[in-house]
Amino acid sequence: MPNAHVQTNSDQRIDRYPSRVATVSEVIERQDPVLYRHWSKGAPLSRSDCEYYQSNGFVFLEEFFESDEVAASQVETERLAQDITIVGRDETITEPGSRTVRSIFDIHDLSPVFSTFAKGARMADIARFLLDDDVYLHQSRLNYKPGFRGKEFYWHSDFETWHVEDGMPRMRAVSMSITLSENNEFNGPLILIPASHYSYLTCVGRTPEDHYKQSLKKQDYGIPDDDSLANLVSRGGLVAPKGGPGSLIIFDCNTMHGSNGNISPFPRRNAFFVYNALSNRLAPPYAGTKPRPDFIAHRDPSPFPSND
């Protein structure tokens, strides 16, 4: 198979998406499906939504959640940021050079409110449909991005990191982002490159041990090169889904995305839930490093029961 790289470790796995192993970056064509199941009546997404997701690597569903659900999640988001027992935990990441909360990981374990969101049928059923498998929660987090000084999240493919640093074998995972505040052009919304999910951009630089301690504040490895990014944008353009609280952004694990810093007075609050196919459970990291902590990448999956 083109671009396959055989690991030298004892299990001799075939790495179909090698990254951070060469001095020059390259583009590897996607070797996995985008939609693992054909659309049919009764699917949790419309046919047009599925076609858009297939072509672009994401779909935006406005006003997906009810106002009372959104209100409860907003109250919980602020409570977690003010809870000193939460702020002092390893799961909580602060902005570079300050004690302002940047992200809180593992929110489905830390909060009953977000556990209900994560395990609810609406998102889990969509994940099961898109991945055509039982699913479990690979990762959950709150991204706060405060007003005036909220830092950017630089361009990246989540799958590149999950593959190299966590050992996720294939592109069979999906992210869902709930907007908990208005996301607009001023407060650093999520930016995606349409159709970028068909190209896997390899990165250079050997991954240091415990890289996550730095990368969750500011990433220095797993960053694509400028020319490859410019080429993706020249072909697909840029899209920033904007809308009020309670909207849902669904995007493929390999869709290239990032967000600008927030210099507006308006904070941006988003909750992220990442569903992985049970058949795609994590193996040893392809970087040869020790696994990242469970609050970043769950290695002992508990599948969500199907509602079929």
Reported as a single tens digit per residue, the pLDDT across 25-78 is 999 999 999 999 999 999 999 999 999 999 999 999 999 999 999 999 999 999
Q: What's the rounded Cα separation, in Å, for the pair 187 and 265?
A: 8
Beta strands in 106-229 (DSSP E): 135-143, 153-156, 173-179, 190-192, 199-201
With beta carbons less than 8 A apart as the criterion, state whether 44 and 126 touch. yes
- The percentage of residues in the chain with a pLDDT greater than 90, rounded to a whole number, is 72
Residues 6+ apart with CB under 8 A from 44: 122, 125, 126, 129
With beta carbons less than 8 A apart as the criterion, state whether 95 and 151 touch. yes
Residue 282 sits at φ, ψ, to 5 deg, of: -70, 140
pLDDT higher than threshold 50 for residue 250: yes
**Apex CA 36: angle with CA 291 and CA 202, to 5°?**
45
What's residue 88's pLDDT?
Answer: 83
What is the SS3 assignment for 113?
helix
Q: Write out the two tokens for 238.
A: 């840029």
pLDDT higher than threshold 80 for residue 308: no
**Apex CA 134: angle with CA 3 and CA 105, to 5°?**
80
Judge residue 36's burial from the number of C-beta atoms within 10 Å of its C-beta, 0-12 exposed, 13-18 middle, 19 or more buried.
middle
